[in-house]
């Protein structure tokens, strides 16, 4: 068992975390609290933009559904008359300086998640300096900035915070890294504007979110077919996301026989990674598909999903934005 597997077993299972994780967890918590306190006191400066900023993030490591929610929120705001843009760090990409993405961005340069968001039609800017990247969105005409995975990035001042929660795993053992999966203590949840629960158990005060699909899309030419047509077949399932088990389980729930191929989050795929020695269908997340399209084969398919949330959630965000305009 690798160290990562041992830690995850302790975070979400019954195993005990290695003894050395406890002092490191205390140190991590102290540094995190100090950093946030320095921003609160103004010693470290947060940049305030002239437009509303909505931050989407989580307090735990791993995938919780932030990117589908970001796409859904941007779409809802566009339908309500806003021109939203998304700012991202661009994890997995080589780009360091602020950059406004074009219509066909390179995932090796700007990261897989920004490419996926840009494909939905919303303007996206990336960069290590997120306030500087966000200003590129303002120059492009955006009147609302959505910060993807920005909950702990306090350099960008925010008007609203949305914390996305994995409804199945929740917060694991409730401990800070590396003894547990938390980036910040659970008390941080009391300060966010909204808690969105992706599947699983929806606690009081959470907004329920579901990821829904139903079809697959060929990487070579974008034609689609119902996912149900593969029921009973054996497929290769590829996932380089924060919580690949969720993807594999979703395929099994549709009646597919799944051969799992989990890769590290943001993995940079090469053709050999997907050379499985047969012609069985290869299914992957949309986030992974943007990195594999350049060398795609006819039997490779993306499995799109969309985040479904109550209309009242988006209505409430719109009302909050309107109040800021007064």
Helix 112-119 / helix 66-79 crossing angle, nearest 10 deg: 30
pLDDT digits (tens, 9 = 90+) for 122-181: 999 999 999 999 999 999 999 999 999 889 999 999 999 999 999 989 999 999 999 999
pLDDT digits (tens, 9 = 90+) for 85-94: 999 998 888 9
Domain ranges of the chain: 3-210+309-325, 214-304
Q: Is the CB of residue 179 less than 8 Å from the CB of residue 21?
A: yes
pLDDT digits (tens, 9 = 90+) for 283-296: 999 999 999 999 99
Q: What is the pLDDT of residue 1?
A: 66
pTM of the model: 0.93
CATH number assigned to the domain covering 3-210+309-325: 3.40.50.300
Strands lying side by side in the sheet with 124-126: 99-100, 124-126, 84-88, 144-148, 53-57, 160-166, 194-198, 206-212, 306-308
pLDDT digits (tens, 9 = 90+) for 3-55: 877 888 899 988 888 899 999 999 999 999 999 999 999 999 999 999 999 99
pLDDT digits (tens, 9 = 90+) for 230-274: 999 999 999 998 888 889 999 999 999 999 999 988 898 999 999
């Amino acid at each position: 068992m690798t160290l990562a597997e041992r830690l995850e077993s302790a975070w979400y299972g019954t195993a005990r975390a290695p003894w050395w994780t406890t002092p490191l967890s205390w140190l991590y918590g102290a540094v995190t609290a100090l950093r946030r306190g320095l921003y609160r006191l103004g010693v470290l400066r947060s940049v305030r933009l002239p437009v509303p900023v909505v931050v989407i993030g989580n307090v735990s490591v791993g995938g919780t559904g932030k990117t589908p929610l970001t796409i859904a929120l941007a779409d809802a705001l566009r339908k309500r008359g806003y021109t939203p843009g998304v700012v991202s760090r661009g994890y997995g990409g080589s780009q360091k300086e602020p950059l406004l993405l074009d219509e066909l961005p390179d995932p090796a340069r700007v990261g897989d998640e920004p490419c996926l968001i840009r494909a939905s039609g919303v303007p996206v800017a990336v960069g290590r300096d997120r306030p500087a990247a966000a200003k590129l969105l303002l120059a492009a005409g955006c009147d609302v900035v959505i910060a993807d995975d920005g909950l702990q990035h306090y350099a960008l001042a925010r008007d609203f915070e949305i914390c996305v929660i994995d409804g199945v795993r929740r917060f694991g053992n409730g401990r800070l890294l590396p003894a547990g999966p938390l980036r910040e203590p659970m008390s941080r949840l009391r300060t966010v504007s909204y808690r969105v629960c992706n599947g699983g158990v929806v606690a009081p005060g959470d907004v329920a979110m579901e990821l829904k699909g139903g079809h697959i899309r060929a990487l070579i030419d974008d034609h689609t077919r119902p996912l149900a047509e593969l029921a009973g077949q054996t497929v290769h399932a590829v996932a380089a996301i924060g919580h690949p088990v969720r993807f594999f389980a979703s395929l099994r729930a549709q009646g597919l026989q799944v051969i799992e191929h989990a890769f590290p989050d943001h993995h940079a795929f090469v053709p050999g990674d997907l050379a499985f020695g047969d012609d069985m269908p290869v299914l992957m997340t949309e986030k992974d598909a943007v990195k594999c399209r350049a060398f795609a084969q006819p039997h490779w398919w993306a499995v799109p999903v969309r985040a479904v949330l109550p209309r009242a959630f988006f209505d409430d965000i719109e009302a909050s934005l309107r109040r800021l305009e007064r």
